[in-house]
Amino acid sequence: MILPIYTYGDEILKKQCYDVDLNNKDEINILVNNMFETLKSADGVGLAAPQIGKSLNLFIIDISSEYDFFSFKEVFINPKILDKSQEKESNIEGCLSVPDIKEKIDRHSWIKLEYYDSNFVKQIKEFKGLQSVVIQHEFDHLYGVLFISR
Ligand code: ZN
């Protein structure tokens, strides 16, 4: 099911999110499937739960590419940043909740994250490049931060 995406000005985008209750697996699976469908139809690379009206610590990323090497699809449940690089890189970013605006934003070059994946298995991984940029953008949404305020 394609869900409506909340846009700039809506209060839910400014709220801090709550941890997902990992016991509600069926509910989370449905939500995650709907989010992937919504993300695809909106032609984006990442979507955080507040963008579809849920104050939950959950975001998804789907960087599809015709080159498998670059493709990346992952669910991040209750993510925490464990470590990050000192050095930063700037990239042009956009957001499905802030249509028509693109801005150059500084982000850490790499980050180390702890999270639960789509199988509710705890992961600790490092991400760099485009993956790191998109993760930091989506992570901000969980704290009510939009890229235009950075
Ligand atoms: Zn966004």
Q: What is the whole-number distance in angstroms between the Cα of residue 128 and the centre of ligand 1?
A: 18
Dist CA 104 CA 91 (whole Å): 5
Average pLDDT over residues 17-46: 96
Q: What is the whole-number distance in angstroms between the Cα of residue 67 and the centre of ligand 1?
A: 24
Q: Is the pTM of this model over 0.85?
A: yes
pLDDT confidence of residue 70: 74
Residues near ligand 1 ion, CB 5 Å cutoff: 95
Catalytic residues: 138
Q: What is the whole-number distance in angstroms between the Cα of residue 119 and the centre of ligand 1?
A: 24
Q: What is the whole-number distance in angstroms between the Cα of residue 97 and the centre of ligand 1?
A: 6
Residue 17 structure tokens: 């999110």
Q: What is the whole-number distance in angstroms between the Cα of residue 27 and the centre of ligand 1?
A: 23
27 pLDDT band, cuts 50/70/90, is very high
Asked whether residue 65 carries a pLDDT value surpassing 70, the answer given is: no
Residue type, 1: M
68 pLDDT band, cuts 50/70/90, is low
Contacts of the segment 28-33: beta carbons below 8 A, 24+ positions apart? 28/58, 28/77, 28/120, 29/118, 31/56, 31/58, 32/58, 32/60, 32/75, 32/118
